[in-house]
Amino acid sequence: MKHALRLMRYEETLTQLAAILAKHFADPRIVGTDIKDSLMQALASYVCYPQSLRAVERIPEEQRVAMMRNLLAPYEQRPWAQTNWILVRLWRGCGFGYRYTRLPHLLKTKPEDANLPSLQKPCPSLLLQRHMAQLLSMDKDMAASFLNSVLNQLNWAFSEFIGMIQEIQQAAERPERNFVDTRQLKVCATCFDLSVSLLRVLEMTVTLVPEIFLDWSRPSAELLLRRLAQLLNQVLNRVTAEKNLFDRVVNLRLPGLESVDHYPILVAVTGILVRILVDGDRQGTSRAASVLLSDPCFQLHSIQHLLGEGGGVLRMSFGPLSHVSLFMSRMFSLSVLQPTSEEDLCPICYAHSISAIFKPCSHKSCKACINQHLMNNKDCFFCKATITGVEDYSKPLTEIDTTSSL
């Protein structure tokens, strides 16, 4: 009886502390940087362990929803790395190939090393994931702002990582073998880990609320999908190219860069691709494939490498990945057989078909270009008239027939 009473009091104490952290970690009245960082770190630790995570789930629903809303605020407006780690911890255990407690590539290269870094056992929260899905689904503006900020930070983190490994490779090639210092190696590894965690948050979002990217009746959906495809292609091209910079730095096996390897980043990208190309409805998967293929950076060999063809790193052959391989090959063939006329291409990016017409000037571009432009500027690209509206545009049938006959 005493033990049961102690357990109840312990759980009550955990729940009370969880309520305090959930309420105040983003409290605008708290201005001290150290205090704000301590609250954020405490909340991040709280969601790592099953008992304390369940305490967070026991606080009143209103407080849980408010906490998730604060976690989904745009990243540019605050220190975002800890927030991203919290979201990742709520997802870890549900993502594609994301149930490991030790990095698989380290177990493969150093199976005898008992001192390998160990990760906390996954303990995802389906309840908090459901709150996140509801918030992003209902509040379209918040969803667009949040995802734009995640994509911006991913672009920054991965670009910084590539810049740093270029410096590391250059240092390794010098005759004196003057390697970069330990601090720079640590920053490089941190940028890589941030890139992986941001990809996992994108995987989480596209799994829980796929309509944010695939339902083009939502104002920002097409733009978000095109930005996502662009970043995925950039990551794949950098990581899967034959004898590339990434390979050379990984093969150096430098102390401090143990977490930098193909596996963590490629399985995160694969998780997103499986969700948008396989698990969605027919219309959504067709849109995703079309956008991925139309991106100027798309290279089929990256998908083949990802799937294990020609000595790829994942070497997985179970259902979903086989479907992705067949689907991508078929869509690539279709894109070659049915080229788009140059006259039908967006005059801004020359990558996507014209799909939007501006009012009142009637100039045209693809939706992605005009949506991104209107975030910062209301003037037409061409005539500088103020754009009062944007409407969908499709080529008239008479023009299509005339072009076909030619």
Give CA–CA dist 358/376, Å, rounded.
16
* DSSP characters over 346-377: -TTTSSSB--EEEETT--EE-HHHHHHHHTT-
Evaluate whether 51 touches 7 at the Cβ level (below 8 Å). no
Residue 318 has pLDDT above 60, yes or no: no
The amino acid at residue 291 is V
3-class secondary-structure state, position 343? helix
Note whether 155 and 231 are within 8 A (CB). Answer: yes
| Neighbour-count burial of 132, counting CB atoms closer than 10 A to its CB (0-12 exposed, 13-18 middle, 19+ buried) | buried
pLDDT, mean of residues 126-139: 94
Q: Which of 27-31, 85-89, 375-379 has the lowest mean pLDDT?
A: 375-379
Helices (H) and strands (E) in the chain, counts: 18, 3
Question: From CA 246, how far away is CA 353, in angstroms rounded?
Answer: 33
- Two structure tokens written together for 329: 């090959």
CATH, domain range 347-405:
3.30.40.10
pLDDT tens digits, one per residue of 54-91: 999 999 999 999 999 999 988 766 678 888 999 999 99
- Which of 3-7, 48-52, 260-264, 340-344 is predicted with the least confidence, judged by mean pLDDT? 3-7
Q: State residue 6's pLDDT score.
A: 62
Count CA within 13 A, CB hemisphere, residue 19. Answer: 11
Are 153 and 193 within 8 A, CB to CB?
no
**Which amino acid belongs to residue 282?**
R
Q: Is the peptide bond before 360 cis (omega within 30 degrees of 0)?
A: yes
| Token pair of 252 as six digits | 């150096």
Q: Say what the pLDDT of residue 199 is.
A: 96
Say if residues 198 and 260 touch (Cβ distance below 8 Å). Answer: no
Q: In this structure, what DSSP letter does residue 389 have?
A: E
Q: pLDDT value at position 76?
A: 65
Degrees, nearest 5: CA angle 146-151-369? 100
State percent of the chain over pLDDT 90.
27
- pLDDT (mean) for 114-121: 56
Q: How many CB atoms lie within 10 A of CB 157?
A: 22
pLDDT at 253: 82
In our burial notation (b when 16+ CB lie closer than 10 A, e otherwise), range 40-71 reads: beebbebbbeeebbbbbbebeeeebbbbbeeb
Please tell me the predicted confidence (pLDDT) of residue 182. Answer: 80
Name the most confidently modeled range: 7-11, 76-80, 151-155, 316-320.
Answer: 151-155
**Is 228:235 a contact under the CB 8 Å cutoff?**
no
pLDDT at 339: 46
DSSP 3-state helix, strand, coil percentages of the chain (rounded to 5)?
65, 5, 35
Q: Is the pLDDT of residue 196 over 90?
A: yes
Q: What is the pLDDT of residue 8?
A: 66
Q: Work out the number of other CB atoms within 10 angstroms of the CB of residue 263.
A: 17
The overall average pLDDT reported for the chain is 80
Question: Which range has the top average pLDDT, 83-92, 119-128, 324-333, 373-382?
Answer: 83-92
DSSP assignments along 254-280, one per residue: -TT-TT-SHHHHHHHHHHHHHHHHTSS
Instruction: Say yes or no to pLDDT of 246 above 70.
Output: yes
CA atoms within 13 A on the CB side of 309: 13
The one-letter amino acid at 269: V
Dihedral of the CA atoms 172, 174, 177, 183 (nearest 10)? -50
319 touches 307 (CB < 8 A)? no
- Is it the case that residue 161 has pLDDT exceeding 60? yes
Average pLDDT over residues 169-187: 74
Helix axes 262-277, 182-208, angle to 10 degrees: 20
Lowest mean pLDDT among 143-152, 168-177, 203-212: 168-177
Cβ count within 10 A of residue 211: 18
d(CA 328, CA 295) in angstroms, rounded, equals: 14
Domain range summary for the chain, segments of one domain joined by +: 1-71, 99-337, 347-405
b/e 234-247 (16+ beta carbons within 10 angstroms → b): bbbebbbeeeeebe
The beta-carbon contacts of 109-112 under 8 Å, at least 24 apart in sequence, are: 109/253
Task: Say whether pTM exceeds 0.85.
Answer: no
Beta bridge partners of 364: 357
Contact (Cβ atoms closer than 8 angstroms) between residue 225 and residue 283: no
Q: Does position 310 have pLDDT exceeding 50, yes or no?
A: no
